A and B are shown apart, each in its own frame.
Chain A
Amino acid sequence: MELAGLGLGQLALVFGGAGLATLALYLLKLRRRQVRVPFVRLWASATEQAQSSQLFSSLKHWLSFLLALSIVALLSLALGDPRPARSSVERHARLLLVDASVTMQALDAGRPRLGEALERARAEIEALEPGEPMLLAQVDGSVTPLTALTDDRDALLAALDQVQGSDLPLAPEAALGFARNLLAGQSHAELVWISDFIGLGTVDPTAPLARDGIALRRIVVGGPGRNVGVSAFAVRRYPLDKSRSQAFVELHNGGDRPERVELDVLADERVIEHQSLDLPAHGRAQRVFDALAGADRRVRAHVRLADGTADALAVDDRAVALLPERRRARVLAVSDGNLYLEAALLLDEYLEVHTQRPAAYRPGHGADYDVVIFDRFVPDEPPQLPSIYLAPEGHDGFPFPVKGVLDRPYFAAIERSDPLLRFIALDDVNIGHALQLEPQPGDRVLGRSDSGPPLLLRASRAGVPLLALAFDVRDSDLPLRVAWPVLIIGMIDALAGTDAAYLDTERVGERVSVRLPAGASEAELRFADGRRSRQPAAAASVQVQATRAGFVSVRAAGAEQLLAFNLRPETPRSVAPATPSQAAAAPAAPAARGPARWLRRQPPWLWLVAAVALLLALEWLSYQRRWTL
């Protein structure tokens, strides 16, 4: 034992003083009342009995004194706040890691696995000895500390309520790294890890921890179960015919037996495709749905067991995807006649194309169009509309100064990261001649010729975006390639904002940068689990990181952008906990419940005081009945 309150000397002083006072009071002889009796003989026997019990009376007196002294001693000792000495109890510095990763959402015989883990964690906290520090953290795709290193059980228990399941797979390296950083060098360091240990893979946590002198205690929760799910889902419009789209679904079976499943593809909560299929044990199956009828912007895939029972993990039974919006664009083509251009524009039924001769073009024409295409013609007064210039031999340096002519150039460098050039190959396009355009500061060269000048570039003049091709397509073999219609339609989409390019499905846990509309200073984020948050814009964008799969809405300046988050591909498909060889189970601390839990948590001084209170009550009764003096 050791004293956390008064020191030994102080206690001796208190006890000595109070003890002496008690002794003094007991040394005083209580002055008794003199009683006159009428007949001495009548009281003679009583006097004789009193003389015979004098010894017992004296003993009772000193026993009463000892009782009083013990009360003083107990109270004095309580002032010392005695606690188990550090030398007699190994004070562990503990890190309690609670796995909140995606597989912890599994139901084991109807009971949430995470709930079981929290119960075990609660038992560990209850078993904490006073003075033993513990840090509570949850681990999923990363480690989230929920408390500081503390022995305050109330704070730890309160923090346990903050553990929230996520859709991220377990990241054992992150957990081990955090444990090593925190506990290395601490005496009696221990990592208590409560998990199903799915996703531990080949990571052996024991050796690296042992090197840092950290003991590992693993508490395995969960059991095997049936699980099917959607491991990949995406919807995509065709590059040319954007009215059509295709959906790709990959299903998996993480269980040990084949399963028959029902797959639904839903748009706007309405089933638009349905299929029954068999999945082999621990197998996968892929399905492609062509020309989705009635596909809305938000599309979902949902799989369920055909026998109507629910599988263990519900979160992977669903996946979401976004289909890019499509709207009709009005295009004005100002050309002397270019069959290749007209033919290419006819390929997209979502384009409403009007043609006009350059001679008939007047400033102000095309005000109600989305895009104007100038084919080998540059107007005197450029329109305040997004424009495409083909071989723009302009004047007064608009849109670009022309420095000469390039003879037989070819695309030597292409900005492949630009969405415009994602599906097309321009490397081997043969070009007769091209204008030597001089880009202006801020212009972005998308395709550069072998000698350096640009062949394709993106620019902005007076705030109006434009794209330019430095050569006449008829002086090249570009129109003979499939790349030509894809390029010109892509240019229109890029300028008209009707780009129906594939929208990537994001992965939970990854940070996605979302560009906000001009002037937006903050964005409101609404996550799939209903959580909302406001985020200030930085560099005209916000960073979005979702831990739950589903749609995330980003609202800013009155506009809404949607993001689709799905589970990560490495998400475990089986819900069976790691085998004993991978994660040797350790017994959890015995769970104290109810009054036992309360009693266990009380410090020793409290017991001393309670004992004194009880003694005082009993002593009061015994005194009043003269059993004690």
Chain B
Amino acid sequence: MIRSRLFNTQHYLLLATLLLAAATTSLFAEDSIPLPEIVVLNPVQNLYTEVLFDHEMHQDGYECSLCHHLSEQQDLDSATNCELCHNRDTKNPILVSTPRSCGECHHKDNTSYNDQGKKDRLPKTLWRFHLDTPSLRAAYHLQCLDCHRQDGGPVGCTECHSLSQKGRQLFYVKD
């Protein structure tokens, strides 16, 4: 008797959860968010010009989480170890923080001397986990190039961005 009632309660709970999930999904469904066609990527504009990233073309064939591996809308990409702590597990509220923009985790400079500052700001336990985060520029180049190499995308430096005047000078490229 008691068992069956319990079962019923569970049933209701499950139904409620599913409804809630469905509501949330529809609220944040892909259609409701205006997705950009072209994204200008300019983490560091020094030797090369900015990249005009064709978001529309890439979103067709690939999972969003492949690049946006920690964004709120997407399932977490298990390729990084970030999701071990940065998940949406509400049981553990300390670890809920979910960064949205790439630059929140991947900093613009890869200068370790400045990382020393970051090291001072963070508690030692946290610093241990954030020891090896790629810089923003490296995050783009690692993500893009690895995928391009695998799937036959452009891999030459000047196929995605062209050399700036400073870059031409540094690489001794004649006009």
A and B are interacting partners: no
